Amino acid sequence: MSQLLLNLDRLRHNIRFLSRYCREHHLGITGIIKDPCADQKMISQMLDLGFENIGISRVPDGPRAKPVFPRRPIYIALPSIHQLPAIVQCFGTSFNSELAVIQKLNQTAIAMNCPHSILLMVDTGDLREGVMPDQVLDTVRKIHQIKPRGIKFAGIGTNLGCCAGTVPDEYNLGIMAHLADQIESKLDIKVNTVSVGGSVLLKWMQHKRLPGRINNIRLGESVFLGTIPTINQVHPNLDTRVVTFRSDILEIKEKRVTPPQLCGKDALGCQPRFPRRGLRKRAILNFGICDTYPSGLAPLIPGMEIVSVNSNYTLADITDCPHRFKVGDFVDFTMNYQAFLQSFISPFTRIRYQEETDSTPVL
């Protein structure tokens, strides 16, 4: 079984830094972990060290699902109209953009006698979820006209840098601030939360302040990887080595690498490439696309090159590695966010916490 090593000291460093930094910017943080089955330890680190709440993007289901949250977290995705009882049961707040779903959520919350808040998503230019800005006032008015009302209108939210690669600017951030003011002044409805995400906002905050109305930021990648997506930068104050992917070697053989006479596609439908030919030393590692997103991994071992990936193996060329490997040796990788998320949610990757520097000999 491959492992996702999670260094708690480094994770705590990032959580602490972000909590302090965002507090200075008058922002509460929603820590995005996406996985409803993440275990207690990680959640309590976030909540104990200053994050306001936790954001999840999947509904818990099946035997792995167990309630580990001290209070119901936030569902940061649009709920399916077919899953609303589970949404109300598991989450205190959900992100919404469709009146039909909001009306049914309201009926569900009343039927279950369970409080539930909704945050209305606004599309400020990233072309992903959300009502268009000119429809927001009308939609909020309609939400408030729902009778009897079981749900609570918590505020508005937007997402940047996820679909169209839209980076924050005065215009899209200004829309959020303006809408919050308009909802309060024109409709006399309180807007408690104005939420923005994700980590791409940190780049903006390095040089400029967010409008005062924005009071919540949703952060995922920066917490675990120390990086800022969309612009592909490392955040100077964050630790980039919180997580490490660890695999082990199942087979080492010298193979004569040469293109076959008749060459089709590999197991994943990709065209095999043969950049290095002749007698090569190849290692088979114990993971594939069932366990992580292998293309998002970078080996920490000099000279190692990933040459092929399938559902349960990853093949590496180790001819040029100075180290002499044997079967069973560990091979560690850094990961991008896709690889982190896939290994985090895969039931075949074991999450191992490291309280201090790992003593396993790493090559």
Q: Using CB under 6 A as the criterion, which residues of the chain lie in contact with ligand PLP when the complex forms?
A: 32, 57, 76, 159, 197-199, 218-222, 229
Give the total residue count for the chain. 363
What is the nearest approach in angstroms of ligand PLP to the Cβ of residue 162? 7
If the CB atoms of residues 197 and 296 are measured against ligand PLP, the closer one turns out to be 197
Which pair of structure tokens corresponds to residue 165? 């690669």
- Least distance in Å: CB of 4 to ligand PLP? 17
Measured from the CB atom, the residue of 308 and 343 that comes closer to ligand PLP is 343
Q: How far is the CB of 155 from ligand PLP (least distance, A)?
A: 14
Closest to ligand PLP by CB, 74 or 84: 74
Tell the smallest beta-carbon distance from residue 12 to ligand PLP (Å): 18
Between vectors from CA 235 to CA 223 and to CA 233, what angle results, nearest 5°? 110
Minimum CB distance to ligand PLP, residue 200 (Å) = 6
For the chain, list the strands marked E by DSSP: 2-7, 28-34, 53-56, 74-75, 93-96, 116-121, 151-159, 193-197, 216-219, 227-228, 233-234, 243-257, 278-285, 297-299, 305-309, 314-317, 330-335, 349-354
Residue number with the smallest Cβ distance to ligand PLP: 198
Residue 70 DSSP one-character state: S
Q: Which is nearer to ligand PLP, 57 or 240 (CB)?
A: 57
Cβ distance to ligand PLP smaller for residue 111 or 127: 127
In the bound state with ligand PLP, the residue whose beta carbon lies nearer, of 57 and 182, is 57
CA count, 13 A, side-chain hemisphere, 304: 25
State the Cα–Cα distance between residues 259 and 250, nearest whole angstrom: 24
Interatomic CA distance for residues 134 and 138, integer angstroms: 8
In whole angstroms, how close is the CB of 84 to ligand PLP at the nearest point? Answer: 19
